[in-house]
Amino acid sequence: MTGAFAHVSAWVFDLDNTLYPAPALYDAIGERMTAYIARAVGVEPSVAFDLRERYFHLFGATVVGLSKHHGVDQRDFMAHVHDVDYSVLAPDPELAAMVAALPGRKFIHTNGGGGHAQRALAALGLDAVFDAVFDLEDADFSPKPQPLSYRRLIEAYSIDPSRALFVEDTLRNLEPAHELGFATALVGVVHPEPRPPYVHHWASDVKTLLRST
């Protein structure tokens, strides 16, 4: 491989809204999150929704706030909210071929859990092209953008950040990766101007990014 990615031997991808557009699946998961919070905390759905969003923005993952402030069982929450219909996702053989062709190891780093990544990748036809999934449970519930989440990924798979690319749709999740030495790529509709120094590459979607490698 030549060009800006010639040094890359480890490719780390976020999952939702990075490898596929997530609205249909996210809506289903979100509905289950809100209903779970309403039952567990004993509040109206509107309050549950507000808690869901507040904890996501504060902690990087709703479940962390629920555990911290309401004693919610994190693994039970993750398993329950991700028990949805994954047939809304369609196989993407073009993306599968593009990822498979990348030299080196390929990883998923997601704040999802409860088997979400494995089921999503299977539905997309991408499960065979990734070496490993590192989700929120593997990170011991330290979500992105907490630096500990990235350090645990690095340690788990002996990744050299100076030879790795971190691909995300969420801007705030790229800064810690940059600080640890990863090259970074932002994909999606977010395109801040001026581009922050911790965003090294940008593309409208992941396929466009990979075509530039």
CATH of the domain at 34: 1.10.150.450
Q: Please tell me whether residues 7 and 29 are part of one structural domain.
A: no
- What CATH number is associated with residue 151? 3.40.50.1000
Tokens 């993750």: give the residue: 78
Q: Please tell me whether residues 16 and 70 are part of one structural domain.
A: no
The reported pLDDT for the residue numbered 189 is 87
Q: Which of 43, 62, 81 is the C-terminal boundary of a domain?
A: 81
The reported pLDDT for the residue numbered 30 is 95
The reported pLDDT for the residue numbered 1 is 58
Measured CA to CA, the distance from residue 11 to residue 56 in angstroms comes to 26
Domain count within the chain: 2
The reported pLDDT for the residue numbered 167 is 98
Q: Please tell me whether residues 48 and 141 are part of one structural domain.
A: no
The reported pLDDT for the residue numbered 92 is 97
Measured CA to CA, the distance from residue 97 to residue 72 in angstroms comes to 40
DSSP state of 6: T
Q: Please tell me whether residues 104 and 195 are part of one structural domain.
A: yes
Q: Which of 53, 81, 109 is the C-terminal boundary of a domain?
A: 81
A 10 A CB-CB count for 54 gives: 12
The reported pLDDT for the residue numbered 22 is 79
**Residue 41 structural domain:** 24-81
Q: Please tell me whether residues 16 and 30 are part of one structural domain.
A: no
Q: Please tell me whether residues 115 and 168 are part of one structural domain.
A: yes
Q: Please tell me whether residues 36 and 131 are part of one structural domain.
A: no
Digit-coded pLDDT (tens) for 183-208 = 999 999 888 889 999 999 999 999 99
Residues 6 or more apart from 149 whose CB is under 8 A from it? 60, 109, 139, 142, 143, 176
Residues of the chain with pLDDT below 70 are 1-2
Q: Please tell me whether residues 15 and 112 are part of one structural domain.
A: yes
Q: Which of 81, 104, 127 is the C-terminal boundary of a domain?
A: 81
Q: Please tell me whether residues 111 and 205 are part of one structural domain.
A: yes
Q: What is the pTM of this model?
A: 0.95
Q: Please tell me whether residues 61 and 104 are part of one structural domain.
A: no
The reported pLDDT for the residue numbered 2 is 58
Measured CA to CA, the distance from residue 207 to residue 128 in angstroms comes to 18
